[in-house]
Amino acid sequence: MSRKLLIILCIVVCIAYIHPIKVSATPTKNVDILLLYANQQDAVTENVAKLDVILHHFFEDVVISSVTEATEEMIEQASFIVYVAEDDIVLRKDVEDALRQAEQPIITISEQTPVWMDELATIQKRTMKSVSFEPYIDSFPLERGMAFTEVNVQDRNRVLLYGYDGNKAVPLMVQVKQHYFIGISTLDNVLLHHIAECFHNIFPNDHEANHLAYLRLENIHPLTDVEALREIGALLEARNIPYMLMVRPAYMDEETKRVTYLKDQEELLQLLQTLQEANGTVVFNGYSNVANASYEFWDGYFDQPMYGEQEEREQLLSKSQFTNKGDYEQYID
């Protein structure tokens, strides 16, 4: 092979753990699940977006709403509710009362104990550096230390996750009656994966408890060695291994500035179509090889979508800076 394709093993679905706490509920209301968020920006943050992706693993019908726009009817119609508070926001009385009276399970992700779980009492704030499903068994280090709230727990059988402050295992995700509390206000990927596993024991699901993984074939562009890719594809097909093809449709020679386009590479296009018809999934992984893949469509400085040339970009205004929803939507458009 004249070129090597980097193969990265990417785990997309983890093994579903069997845990003693199980809620075998089936959605019977108008909405499968309501994802409520509360933060100072009054906006969908990275944490909310990640939770949305995970919830779609279990439900097709996921409604996302800020607590400022939530209504009693929205709360009553949901079979499940996930409430994520990244900041200490005072709820409107009608929303607070509706959540307090809710009979369906509410999963609260917050450093503040919610009024609808008044059985919980805060013991102290701690710093968590690892997490596990069982105390002192197979703990996984987090990407960074994270603040979390320790609460009183009468029944240790109602603890789904433990966080570790030093060597001490402290209840992190607990169940009280039909509700659940996770004493954090931010999520990293390791913690998110553990929470997702716990969701298997809360939300109805019928998928097999197996380990599914994809191979990720990186850096496929118009000048990719066709025969090398064909050989790798044949190897994966022979073993019936699913894989993702990370494709960029343009390649620029940084010295000559000459651009080669995928549409002009007929043999490579035919091979990609053949692989896609088999076990391959084509993923649009940016436009060209020149831009940093993480920032080609995202403004890393302002932490917002890329919408103009470098010299034209500016910080977008947030929804909270507008007096009404119509003005904000007109500004975004």
Range of the domain at 236: 210-284
Domain of residue 43, CATH code: 3.40.50.880
Amino acid at 1: M
Say if residue 76 is in the same domain as residue 216. no
Say if residue 164 is in the same domain as residue 89. yes
Say if residue 185 is in the same domain as residue 46. yes
Q: Does residue 4 lie within any of the structural domains? A: no
Say if residue 175 is in the same domain as residue 280. no
Place of tokens 């093809």: 245
Q: Tell how strand 243-247 and strand 212-220 pair up.
A: parallel
Element (H, E) at 322: none
For residue 29, what pLDDT is reported?
63
Domain final residue pick, 199, 220, 248: 199
Q: Does residue 2 lie within any of the structural domains? A: no
Say if residue 245 is in the same domain as residue 324. no
Whether pLDDT at 27 is above 60: no
What is the band of 22 on the pLDDT scale with cuts at 50, 70, 90?
very low
- Tens digit of each residue's pLDDT (9 = 90 or more) over 132-146: 999 998 899 998 899
Element (H, E) at 44: none
Spatial contact of 19 and 137, defined as CB atoms under 8 Å apart: no
- Tens digit of each residue's pLDDT (9 = 90 or more) over 40-83: 999 999 999 999 999 998 998 899 999 999 999 999 999 999 99
Cα–Cα distance for residue pair 282/276, rounded to 1 Å: 7
Say if residue 153 is in the same domain as residue 33. yes
What is the band of 128 on the pLDDT scale with cuts at 50, 70, 90?
very high
For residue 152, what pLDDT is reported?
87
How much of the chain is helix, strand and coil, in % rounded to 5? 25, 30, 45
Among 54-63, 95-104, 105-114, 202-211, the range scoring the smallest mean pLDDT is 202-211
| Exposed/middle/buried for residue 99 (C-beta within 10 Å: 0-12, 13-18, 19+) | buried
For residue 76, what pLDDT is reported?
94
Say if residue 302 is in the same domain as residue 266. no
More confident of the two residues 202 and 331:
202
- Tens digit of each residue's pLDDT (9 = 90 or more) over 145-171: 999 999 988 776 789 999 999 999 999
Say if residue 30 is in the same domain as residue 145. yes
Whether pLDDT at 308 is above 60: no
Whether pLDDT at 240 is above 70: yes
How many domains are there within the chain? 3
Whether pLDDT at 307 is above 60: no
Among 18-27, 256-265, 271-280, 302-311, the range scoring the smallest mean pLDDT is 18-27
Say if residue 133 is in the same domain as residue 98. yes
| Cα separation values, 135 from 111, 138, 165, 172, Å | 21, 8, 12, 11
For residue 35, what pLDDT is reported?
96
Q: For 251, which DSSP code?
A: E
Cα–Cα distance for residue pair 263/291, rounded to 1 Å: 20
Backbone angles phi, psi at 230, to 5 degrees: -65, -40
* Mean pLDDT score, 217-222: 92
Helical H segments across the chain, by residue range: 46-55, 72-77, 93-101, 189-199, 226-238, 266-277, 325-332
Whether pLDDT at 17 is above 50: no
For residue 286, what pLDDT is reported?
78
Q: Does residue 7 lie within any of the structural domains? A: no
Say if residue 63 is in the same domain as residue 162. yes
Whether pLDDT at 39 is above 50: yes
Domain final residue pick, 175, 199, 223: 199
Say if residue 63 is in the same domain as residue 161. yes
Q: For 18, which DSSP code?
A: P
Cα–Cα distance for residue pair 135/149, rounded to 1 Å: 17
Q: Does residue 24 lie within any of the structural domains? A: yes
Q: For 1, which DSSP code?
A: -
Residues 6+ apart with CB under 8 A from 125: 111, 147, 148, 149, 150
Mean pLDDT, the chain, rounded, equals 82
Say if residue 63 is in the same domain as residue 129. yes
